[in-house]
C-alpha cells in the first residue's frame, strides 16, 4: 500500500523548493496555505512537500512537534526543541552520524509572546572570519566533541568522546564548505569529559557567534499558522527567541529532517 496519495501539485512545488535550496538560496519561507485547514491536512501537505527534498531522517519520527514540554536542557539530555528557551544560532543534530541536509518547520500555533525565527548565513560568516580573524577560523576546522542528545543514541563518556567533528569542513564531494554547530553541546561535552576548551577556542566561538548574529547576515520573521520554513542545514544557521505560551494553545512547530540523495552519490 502506498504511504500517501499522490498529490501532483504538492510534488511539483516540493521539487521547486528542492531546486531552490540546492542552487544556493539556502532558505525558503513558504506562505499561501489556508490557515483554516485543519492540522492533519497541513501536516500531510507539509510531508508531501518535504519528501520531495529528500528522504526523511527519523530519529524523532518523520514529523516531530517542536513545543515546550517542560524540559530544561541545561540539567538533562533533553534537546532545546523540547523547551521554550532561545536556541542560539545552530544547525540541527549533534550526532556525528545523523546529519540532515534540510530542516523544515511548519507552524501550527504561534506563541503568545516571542518565538521569532532567525536565519543566518554560515557561509558568509566563514568568509567574514577569513578576512577578520583567520586564526579563529582555522580553529573552527578542528574537531570538537559534542554531547549526545539524539534519541536512540547511547549516551556515555565514551560515546561523547567519539562524537566529534569540526564546525567548518570542506566537503570534497559537494565542492563547498559545510557547517555544523551548537555551541552549548560542545561546551557541555568538553566539561563532562573534563577536557576544557582552550581560551583560543572559546574566542573563536565568540567571533563566530558575533558574525552569525550580525544584522547584515540575519533574516528574522515570525511564522504564522500554515507557513513553512526550510533551510539548508549545511550552510545556514538558525535560531529562535524564547517564548511564552498561551495556556490553552501552546506554540507548535512541526519539524522535518531530510537527506538529499544527490549529496550521497
Question: Alpha helices of the chain — where are they, by DSSP H?
Answer: 8-22, 39-50, 122-132, 134-139, 157-162, 183-192, 199-212, 261-264
pLDDT at res. 116: 97
Q: For the segment 27-74, what is each residue's pLDDT rounded down to a tens digit?
A: 999 999 999 999 999 999 999 999 999 999 999 999 999 999 888 777
Pairing of strands 164-166, 143-145: antiparallel
pLDDT higher than threshold 80 for residue 2 = no
Largest CA distance in the chain: 57
Rounded to 10°, the helix 122-132/199-212 angle is: 120
Q: Tell me the sheet residues that pair with 240.
A: 117
Domains identified in the chain and CATH numbers = 8-259 (3.60.130.10)
Q: For the segment 128-172, what is each residue's pLDDT rounded down to a tens digit?
A: 999 999 999 999 999 999 999 887 778 899 999 999 999 999 999
Q: What is the C-alpha separation between 98 and 101, in angstroms, rounded?
A: 10
pLDDT at res. 72: 79
Retrieve residue 107's grid coordinates: 507552524
Amino acid at each position: 500500500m502506498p504511504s500517501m496519495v499522490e498529490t501532483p501539485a504538492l510534488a511539483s512545488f516540493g521539487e521547486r523548493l528542492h531546486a531552490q535550496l540546492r542552487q544556493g538560496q539556502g532558505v525558503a519561507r513558504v506562505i499561501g496555505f489556508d490557515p483554516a485547514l485543519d492540522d492533519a491536512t497541513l501536516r500531510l501537505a507539509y510531508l508531501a512537500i518535504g519528501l520531495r527534498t529528500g528522504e526523511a531522517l527519523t530519529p524523532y519520527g518523520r514529523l516531530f512537534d517542536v513545543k515546550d514540554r517542560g524540559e530544561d536542557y541545561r540539567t538533562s539530555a533533553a534537546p532545546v526543541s523540547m523547551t521554550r528557551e532561545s536556541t542560539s544560532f545552530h544547525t540541527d543534530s549533534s550526532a556525528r552520524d545523523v546529519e540532515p541536509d534540510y530542516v523544515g518547520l511548519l507552524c501550527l500555533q504561534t506563541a503568545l509572546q516571542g518565538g521569532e525565527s532567525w536565519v543566518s548565513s554560515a557561509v558568509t560568516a566563514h568568509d567574514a572570519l577569513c578576512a577578520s580573524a583567520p586564526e579563529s577560523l582555522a580553529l573552527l576546522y578542528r574537531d570538537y566533541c559534542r554531547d549526545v542528545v539524539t534519541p536512540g543514541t547511547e549516551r556515555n563518556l565514551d560515546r561523547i568522546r567519539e562524537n566529534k567533528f569540526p564546525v567548518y569542513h570542506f566537503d570534497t564531494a559537494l565542492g563547498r564548505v559545510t557547517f555544523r554547530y551548537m555551541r552549548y553541546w560542545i561546551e557541555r561535552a568538553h566539561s563532562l569529559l573534563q577536557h576544557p576548551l582552550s581560551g583560543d577556542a572559546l574566542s573563536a566561538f565568540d567571533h563566530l557567534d558575533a558574525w552569525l548574529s550580525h544584522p547584515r547576515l540575519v533574516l528574522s520573521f515570525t511564522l504564522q499558522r500554515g507557513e513553512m520554513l526550510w533551510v539548508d542545514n549545511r550552510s545556514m544557521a538558525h535560531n529562535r527567541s524564547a517564548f511564552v505560551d498561551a495556556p490553552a494553545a501552546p506554540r507548535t512547530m512541526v519539524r522535518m529532517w531530510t537527506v538529499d540523495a544527490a549529496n550521497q552519490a
